[in-house]
Structure 1
Amino acid sequence: MASATIHLVSWVFYLIAAMVCIIFFLTHKKSSYSKNKKKLPPGEMRIPWIGETIEFFKAQRNNRLFEDFFQPRITRHGKIFKTRLFGSSTVVVNGAEANRFFLSNEFKLVISSWPSSSVQLMGKDSIMQTQGEQHRCLRGLIATTLSHSAGLEALVPKMCNSVQLHLDTYWQGQDRLSLYRSTKVLTFNIVFECLLGIKVEPGMLETFERVLEGVFAPAISFPGSRYSRAKKARTGIEKMLIRIVREMRKEMEGGKDGDDHHHQEGMLLSQLVAGMIRGDITEKEVIDNVVLLVFAAHDTTSFAIAMTFKLLAQYPNCYSLLLQEHVEIMRGKKSGEILRSEDIKMMKYTWQVARESMRLFPPIFGSFRKAVADIEYDGFTIPKGWKVLWTAYGTHYNEEYFKDPLSFNPNRFEEHIPPYVFLPFGGGPRVCAGYQLAKLNILIFVHYVVTRFDWSLLCPNESITMDPLPFPSHGMPIKISPKL
């Protein structure tokens, strides 16, 4: 009996001890979970997968991402907040310090993260997607042409001739045209003919535009879908580029005069093919990066030019100052003489106008990264695998960085702009490789238009939309007449 009593007491003791352990474990787990949960930034995740994607898409389509999506959440939650976009848990960060932290930690804490459709259509081996050493090697080859002063100087006369030929062909004798469409045709031709040494054939621009239409569409290949049409167009482009690349490789390996010809007429493509011959990069890397650079160099530049003209039309005093700068440049030139690199350096006010236009109308609103480890930032934890979205609006439209940020004031760029504040083409290791090319394109085009034509907007209040990149909803129709 005593033995049974001892066993019963022991059993009760162990049961109580076990219950205490379970209660302690559950309480600790709950406390730990709550603690971790508290570390997540504030915000709303909403329902699985969809989250706040619909609100994001609606604001994007109306070109009101800042006003209708980012600003209300910044007001409610602060500069860093969580949401769910495109099926992914996402943390949106705003401000120069956040931009510096996440963009400079590329390959260390975060990696580029684009939708599957974007990766498939732009190419898995483009610098948009590559990581680490592969990215550095590819970027080095591209930057040799697009960032090196000697390479850019060699482009100036070619771009001047392209712009003047375009104006002679499409503007002369017309009284009205679509400025945005005109700049898309021009920038597309400049990329192909000046950088790649490839003659633009009828229908090529339209084929590339079909690819762009599917970049943010669901990656579902059913007949007639946006993605399916884009994939088909991409296949056609790839076949054309493979043929051209193999022909160039054959000429360069044969040591023909064509080597020098391609070096002069298609500097960028010859650099990439030379890298392929040395074994530094593959044929697929050449093709994927050419496709990406065509989009990067002409779509964003076209929009930047269009917005520059939109704001010049709305602010005639600024236009007068800009025109005076170009008249001064013309005074020092003979009739028919094209611009030189020294002339481009004199366009300081014009570049201020262009930068202020890109501040107010950034060609890209930001981009997504993915956390490759748990990230501690600003008192919060961003879990491994979550997306991080930085935005240009977080600094461009912020009073902390730009006084009266919604007003147009080119003079603000007379002063030094701190790093990671002005980001129309991104920042860090993935800053747009064609940024200097875009600058040349904008300045040369503005020069020849304002010195050869008078112009005015036909739709002054035209809205800007996005699909998937921003563009004037009516193509920015303008009335033109040649200067007397």
Structure 2
Amino acid sequence: MSAYIFSLLPPFFFILFLIHKTCNKNTTKLPSGQMGLPWIGETIAFYRAQRKNQLFDTFFQPRINKHGKIFKTRLMGSPMVVVNGATANKFFMSNEFKLVISSWPTSSVELMGKNSIMEKQGDSHSCLRGIIASALAPAGLHAMVPRICTSIYKHLQKNWQHAEEISLHRSTKMITFTIVLQCLFGIGIEPETMFGVFENVLEGVLAAPVNFPGTKFSRAKKARAEIEKVLVNEIQKKREAMEGGRDEEDGMLLSALVGALIRGEITEQEVVDNVVLLVFAAHDTTSYAITMTFKMLANHPDCYSLLLEEHEDIARNRKPGEVLTFDDVKKMEYTWQVARETMRLCPPIFGSFRKATSDIDFEGFTIPKGWKVLWTTYGTHYDEECFPDPMSFNPSRFADPVQAYSFIPFGGGPRLCAGYQLAKLIILVFVHYVVTQYNWSLVYPDESIVMDPLPFPSKGMPIKISPKSVISSSTAL
């Protein structure tokens, strides 16, 4: 039997070789690069660099140095062109739905949902984005500031007030998860009961889509099914309340989605999939941005002094027991410069995948129909043409507008993150409450960052904390 199997191997590999050659014929206009092994391509090298959070240093940069800002490769079974630079970002982001469409790996689609805005195209995408954007319009954000303040204050009182050391990353993940679940969606379940389940889903979003017991993807699928049961129940309760005129209008985004469901504009599955996606999109990347902001502040005390002065000035102008307002948050200009510079150096996502819907001519090359396109945040964030001395931490570079499509932690074009203003609010308000209430310092100033599948501090970024002797009036609720 084994001899028979081995006899089949030569023709099997010959067929793979022919497929490989066929996929790469007529490559005279393709960018240079290495396609690697048939089907596998350079996936192993990509994953190895990703786990160590060295995608730029050990995967992208060596290929850029060798082949230029545009190069070909094969990742996760797909022939792919990696593009870098503000010009490329503008071209591909602005041509969404025209030349390219979103095309995430199978595991991401399965776990986030085939009916999420991530996968929607054209009119379906516009419809969902309009619903989400309406809930996150300025009026809605204004109303959310006091609720965000209350959530953060309660979290700090419960988890920080009597502690000497806490895991900053764990704490920020929990508070952002709580804000998204309770303030944005109005889902009344205890966040602690669902936090671990969502984390299990996250572990599988870039894993191999092998639904075999014991694999990351299999565990993630089970967790996704558990989440869906809870969400369907919450959606049905919200629908009954809205149809019966009993909706308290908490959870503005869930109300907006269920309202569209009642009007027949979207399905229940679309509501479920978009709640799942938006919980991940709004809380995990935001918590990482907050964590890294504090790391940068710890390593740059001069910047911290300027930031602290900004927040103490704001606190002094609040009455005792008065929460922050949207206008207060608008005054945190230097803090937002610090946060943006942090996200430039430590982007929460490495890029995004697209698929060519027709042959694309760009910069003298042809990207064949069906090929994937990957734009990277590193391609502009670390580019001297966009940001002089790119590896230095310099928040003041954001005091003036930066080149369009060069700073892209939230994407751009029609798929610009709909919740980026909410992320901004959470970051700024959290920083305010911490720096005005606590003295803090990093336990491990040189803690390494790893990635699985998103970046996170290897030790959880523990910090030593002690309450300040005088708490600013705006922090007392």
> What residue number does 2:15 align with?
none
In the alignment, is residue 74 of structure 1 matched against residue 64 of structure 2?
yes
> By how many angstroms is 1:203 displaced?
2.5
Q: Which amino acid aligns with 1:445?
A: F
Tell me, in whole angstroms, the C-alpha distance in 2 between the residues paired with 1:227 and 1:412: 41
Q: Which amino acid aligns with 1:381?
A: T
Q: Counterpart of 2:146 in structure 1: which amino acid?
A: P
Q: Deviations over 1:308-334 (max 9, x none)?
A: 000000000000000000010011112
- Tell me the residue number matched to 1:211: 201
- Cross-structure match for 2:301: 316
Q: Give the Cα–Cα distance (whole angstroms) in 2 for the partners of residues 457 and 241 of structure 1.
A: 38
Corresponding residue for 2:105?
Answer: 115
Compared with structure 1, are the counterparts of its residues 203 and 35 closer, same or farther at alpha carbon in structure 2 (3 Å cutoff)?
closer
Counterpart-to-counterpart distance in 2, 1:335 and 1:145 = 31
Mapped partners of 1:450, 1:35: distance in 2: 59
Structure 2: distance between partners of 1:255 and 1:59: 53
Does the CA contact (< 8 Å) of 1:181 and 1:475 recur in 2?
yes
Counterpart among 357, 362, 366 of residue 381 in structure 1: 366
Instruction: Tell me, yes or no, if the aligned pair for 1:189 and 1:200 is still in contact at 8 Å.
Output: no
What amino acid is aligned across from residue 157 of structure 1 in structure 2? Answer: P
Within-5 A mapping of 1:24-63 = 36-63=26-53
The 5-angstrom pairing of residues 230-249 of structure 1 reads: 230-249=220-239
Q: Where does residue 136 of structure 1 map in the other structure?
A: 126
Secondary structure of the equivalent of 2:385?
A: coil
Kindly, what percent of the aligned residue pairs are identical?
66
Corresponding residue to 1:333 among 300, 303, 318: 318
Instruction: Give SS of 1:339's match.
Output: coil
Q: Which residue identity does 1:238 align to in structure 2?
A: E
Partner of 1:372: 357
Instruction: Structure 1: state its 5+ residue gaps.
Output: 1-32
Partner of 1:170: 159
CA contact (8 A) 1:363 1:425 kept: no
CA distance in 2, matches of 1:284, 1:354: 35
Which structure 1 residue ranges, 4+ long, deviate > 3 Å from structure 2? Answer: 33-36
- Aligned to 2:31, the other structure's residue is in SS state coil
Q: Is 1:269 the equivalent of 2:254? A: yes
| 2:84 corresponding residue in structure 1 | 94
Aligned counterpart in structure 2 of residue 149 of structure 1, from 130, 138, 145: 138
Residue 92 of structure 1 aligns to a residue whose secondary structure is strand
Q: 1:183 maps to which residue?
A: 172
1:479 counterpart SS class: strand
What is the CA deviation profile of residues 15-44 of structure 1, one whole-angstrom value per residue up to 9, with x for unaligned ones?
A: xxxxxxxxxxxxxxxxxx999422010001
Return the alpha-carbon distance in structure 1 between the equivalents of residues 311 and 31 of structure 2.
Answer: 50
SS at match of 1:221: coil
Q: Which residue of 2 aligns with 1:14?
A: none
Superposition deviation, residue 251 in structure 1: 1.4
Tell me how far apart the structure 2 counterparts of residues 154 and 234 of structure 1 sit (CA, whole Å).
31
The question of whether the paired residues in 2 share the 8 Å contact of 1:45 and 1:83 is answered with yes
User: AA paired with 2:264?
Assistant: G
Instruction: Spell out, residue by residue over 1:375-425, the C-alpha distance to the aligned partner (whole angstroms, 9 max, x if none).
Output: 000000000111000001110000000010000000000111122110011
Secondary structure at the residue paired with 1:203?
helix
Pair member with larger Rg: 1
- TM (norm. structure 1) is 0.91
Contact in 2 for aligned 1:359/1:424 (Cα 8 Å): yes
| SS at structure 2 position matched to 1:37 | coil
1:227 aligned partner: 217
TM-score, structure 2 as length reference: 0.92
Aligned residues: 446
- What CA distance in whole angstroms lies between the structure 2 residues aligned with 1:80 and 1:176? 46
CA deviation after TM superposition for structure 1 residue 430, in Å:
1.0
- Give 3-state SS (helix, strand or coil) of 2:414's partner: helix
Q: Distance in 2 between matches of 1:442 and 1:251?
A: 32
Give the distance between the partners of 1:255 and 1:325, measured in 2 at CA.
44
Task: After superposing the two structures, state which structure 1 stretch, 34-43 or 210-219, moved more.
Answer: 34-43
Correspondence for 2:264: 279
In structure 2, the gaps of 5 or more residues are 1-22, 470-477
CA shift for structure 1 position 200: 3.6
Q: 1:446 to 1:206 in 2, by over 3 A?
A: same
The one-letter amino acid paired with 1:59 is A
C-alpha separation in 2, matches of 1:58 and 1:120: 23
Counterpart AA for 1:213: E
Secondary structure at 1:475 match in 2: coil
Report SS of the residue matched to 2:28.
helix
